[in-house]
Amino acid sequence: MNRPRPSNCWSVAWLPAVFVASVACGQESQSDSKYAVHDMTRPQPPVVDPGNPSTQPHAGTAPSDAVVLFDGRDLSQWRTEGGDAGWKVVDGVIETVPHRGDLISRQSFGDCQLHVEWMVPKGLRPKHPAGANSGVYLMQQYEIQVLRREDKPTYTDGMAGAIYGQHPPLVAADLPKGEWNTYDILFTAPRFNDDGSVKTPAYCTVIFNGVVVQNHAEIRGRTAVGDPPTYEKHPERMPISIQDHGDAIRFRNIWVRPLGE
């Protein structure tokens, strides 16, 4: 599978601290017209306190019609490229085992609603200074970035809630280390013509800790480090995957509801 590999995600120099205070209109920041991939001059989005999402109804157990991919028990719904899931479950929570490869769902999905909760443990020293990194991939192609930012900002299309390398989050709504974050993702898969050309692109809405950070954003192709996105025809349904970026990030309560089937 022609998947993105994030080996040099953080090779870009830091954005000067002055930009931290230079917030931009979120909708404008989602425009694709004037910024290059990983453009360090793109203003940081506003920071929003999401309140207390652990008490919000989207956290916790799955709806009755959901395909439950992880409910605290085991990794039977997952594998890695090497075979069995090489990650571990500790106290009902998935813990990334770095360098074992991405976690890949055994089932495949197209249009869907996806719920994932993630947390960066307190005291975790990230592999890269920008912050502990993972990612939720739709169809093993399209990454919603998982990142707990450190003190200095990184490029905005690599922040948590970004469609990696394409759309920064409308606002920064991530919670501190040690607290659980939630992603609720509405995904429309791309459609392809018989000749491999794009019939309709993928679209994605992301609600991050109860806050909309992507609003029916058009995905412009496979997400990748540094490269302009392009589409390559793929099956109508493909697995969901969670990125191993070398940091021991934790996950829980993962479920998906296929849509339009």
Note the residues at the interface with Mg ion (CB under 5 A): 133, 135, 145, 243
- Residue nearest Mg ion (C-beta atom): 135
**What is the nearest approach in angstroms of Mg ion to the Cβ of residue 223?**
9
Q: 156 phi and psi, to 5 degrees? A: -70, -30
**What is the nearest approach in angstroms of Mg ion to the Cβ of residue 16?**
23
CA distances from 198 to 42, 194, 231 (A): 28, 9, 7
- Of 30 and 133, which has the nearer Cβ to Mg ion? 133
As given in the structure block, the two tokens for residue 222 are: 């496979």
**What is the nearest approach in angstroms of Mg ion to the Cβ of residue 5?**
11
- Of 96 and 105, which has the nearer Cβ to Mg ion? 96
- Of 98 and 258, which has the nearer Cβ to Mg ion? 98
**What is the nearest approach in angstroms of Mg ion to the Cβ of residue 146?**
6
- Of 105 and 145, which has the nearer Cβ to Mg ion? 145
Number of residues in the chain: 261
**What is the nearest approach in angstroms of Mg ion to the Cβ of residue 147?**
6
- Of 115 and 148, which has the nearer Cβ to Mg ion? 148
